[in-house]
Amino acid sequence: MIEHDQLAAYPSWSKETIRYGDTDRQGHVNNAVFATLLETGRVGILYSQERPILEPASAFVIARLLLEFKAELNWPGEAHIGTRVQKVGRSSLTLEQAIFQNGICAATAETVIVLMDETTRKSRPLSAAAVDRLTELQSSR
């Protein structure tokens, strides 16, 4: 269960069921799966069907991912991924994310994502609509 102040801190939430296959020999969720859970939270924002940010002939690429492990995740159960926009740049954005299980924060992450032109393979500016949508997802904390 997610606490009220945890809910308020992240304007976007995703949920994943932890699979038995996500565990390692020690019986907890493998550290590589944490990155996959973070991806679930990012995809909910970047590839939203209702309010798309991605533009034609472009792609998002991760320029930096800083992941800090704070507690174990265990099977069976669910992971709740909170995501907020920390910063919006000209062609990039920075996301802050947290993974929770049973109200306990298991990891936090900061990810820098760049919008890339698929033809030139170079960064390209975010559209005004994308900047507006990303700004809406910034936390007021």
> What is residue 77's predicted lDDT score, i.e. its pLDDT?
96
My answer on whether omega of the bond before 76 falls inside 30° of 0, hence cis, is yes
User: Which residues make beta-bridge pairs with 66?
Assistant: 110
> What is residue 93's predicted lDDT score, i.e. its pLDDT?
98
> What is residue 92's predicted lDDT score, i.e. its pLDDT?
98
Q: Is CATH 3.10.129.10 the right assignment for the domain spanning 4-136? A: yes
**Rounded to whole angstroms, what are the CA distances from 29 to 16, 33, 62, 101?**
13, 7, 23, 11
Write down the domain spans for the chain.
4-136
Q: Is 1 helix (H, G, I), strand (E, B) or coil?
A: coil
> What is residue 20's predicted lDDT score, i.e. its pLDDT?
96
Residues of the chain below pLDDT 50: none
> What is residue 85's predicted lDDT score, i.e. its pLDDT?
96
> What is residue 55's predicted lDDT score, i.e. its pLDDT?
87
Positive/negative CA dihedral, 77, 78, 79, 82: negative
What is the Cα–Cα distance from 15 to 54, expressed in whole angstroms? 22
> What is residue 2's predicted lDDT score, i.e. its pLDDT?
60
> What is residue 48's predicted lDDT score, i.e. its pLDDT?
85
> What is residue 49's predicted lDDT score, i.e. its pLDDT?
84
